[in-house]
Structure 1
Amino acid sequence: MQIIYWLLIAVMVVGVIGAVVPAIPGTSLILIAIIIWGVVSSSFAAIKIPLIVTVIVLLLSIGVDFLAGYIGAKQAGASKWGQIGAFVGLLLGFFGLLPALPFGGPLLGILIGPLLGAIIGEYLYQRQLGIAIKAGIGIVVGTVVGNLLQGILAIAAVVVFILNTWPQVFGS
């Protein structure tokens, strides 16, 4: 039982990483691990609070994900073109399709892709490089702040799970 517990904790750690790094499952992975623990341990009473907390964290993470990039874009004066460019840049960066990135792989592409995409999208819309750069930086800063908040929320969900299940697994 302890081996399964530690494996699920490892899955949750991957979920915490995924809450911060785009394109890796985050809070949903933590939720799945908690549900698996409930099934394996046959004690859904022990996971009631962690389950509720994790569902709330999942909903908050979705809200933070949408709002952070949007607020960052609006603060920097970005248009929809900049936001679309950031999304396209994220996809291109993740799949390693940016010609300027022969090194670093998807993680570097995930960081640089949205910035370049937002700048290009905004420049195509406004034709002013200074505004495009400001918008690109605003979108990326908003997204990074949102990802950090999601990471904090994911850590909280894992801590609540551990605090509620540790006595069940290892005794008082």
Structure 2
Amino acid sequence: MSLPLLYWLLVAVMVVGIIGAVVPGIPGTSLILIAILIWGAIQGFNTVAVPLGVTIVVLILGIGIDFFASYLGAQRAGASKWGQIGAIVGLVVGFLGLLPAFLVAGPLVGILVGPLLGAIIGEFLYRRDLELEPRFKLSLKAGVGIVVGSLIGNVIQGLLAIATVVVFLFTTWPFGAGA
């Protein structure tokens, strides 16, 4: 395989990593890291020292941002731990539960709807002391807050992933694209 072809193949893998940074269920920054490591193994790690360092920092930041954004969204909406746990359970059940029914769209729909429903159910169970209408309103508010926080975190992770790929392209362009 020629070097430029491999370079562009790895860049394509990085683009999938950018998508994965935004869409849950698809590997994100880890795919970008693997592509950079492959390029470093072939071309020498001195050519990827900067992008490798940036990717590792982005990977660590991404984990923190994901938790912080969900927590902040939950806190702003007044969600309890039950709502947060419900969102996590809803994510897993939504992803796995709709997989057999709809092979491609099922998990994506489940990833979007599952956390919302899980957070609403978790919060609804926690707020047993309230009447039905205020209980449902608080549960809905908490569910939406958790999901919005998570989506904002995903957008930030996507922007960081794009920055990582741009750093890789900027630092390796003379070695890869025209080699």
Q: What range is the shorter-chain TM-score in? A: over 0.9
Query: What is residue 8 of structure 2 aligned with on the other side?
Result: 6
Structure 2 vs 1, CA of residues 103 and 37 (structure 1 numbering), >3 Å: closer, same or farther?
closer
Describe the superposition over 1:84-130 as per-residue Cα deviations: whole angstroms up to 9, x where unpaired.
Answer: 110111111111349xx999411111111100000000000003111
- Residue number in structure 1 paired with 2:132: none
Name 1:51's counterpart in structure 2. Answer: 52
Q: Does 1:168 align with 2:175?
A: yes
**Partner SS state of residue 45, structure 2:** coil
| Count of residues paired in the alignment | 169
Q: CA, structure 1 residues 85+38, in 2 after alignment: closer, same or farther (shift >3 Å)? A: same
Q: Which residue number corresponds to residue 25 of structure 1?
A: 27
Tell me whether 83-92 or 103-112 shows the greater mean CA deviation.
103-112
Note the alpha carbon deviations across 1:13-32, whole angstroms, 9 max, x for none. 11111111112111111111
Amino acid paired to 2:8: W
Superposition TM-score, scaled by structure 1 size: 0.93
Give 1:5's aligned amino acid. Answer: Y
Show the counterpart of 1:76. Answer: 77
TM-score where L is the length of structure 2 = 0.89
Cα distance in structure 1, aligned partners of 2:154 and 2:94? 17
CA distance in 2, matches of 1:121, 1:102: 27
Partner of 1:147: 154
Conserved in 1, the CA contact under 8 Å of 2:4 and 2:178?
A: no
The 3-state SS of whatever aligns with 1:95 is helix
1:70 offset after TM fit, Å? Answer: 0.5
Distance 1:170 1:97, change over 3 A: closer
Output one character per residue of 1:15-50: Cα deviation in whole Å (capped at 9) or x when no partner. 111111112111111111101100012x21111110
**1:37 maps to which of 39, 45, 48:** 39
For the residues of structure 1 that align with 2:30 and 2:120, how far apart are their CA atoms?
31
Q: Match of 1:92, as an amino acid? A: V
Q: How much does 1:137 deviate?
A: 0.3
Could you tell me which residue of structure 2 aligns to residue 117 of structure 1?
118
Percentage of identical aligned residues:
64
Task: Write out aligned runs for 1:103-114 (5 A).
Answer: 104-114=105-115
Task: Report deviation, 1:134.
Answer: 0.3
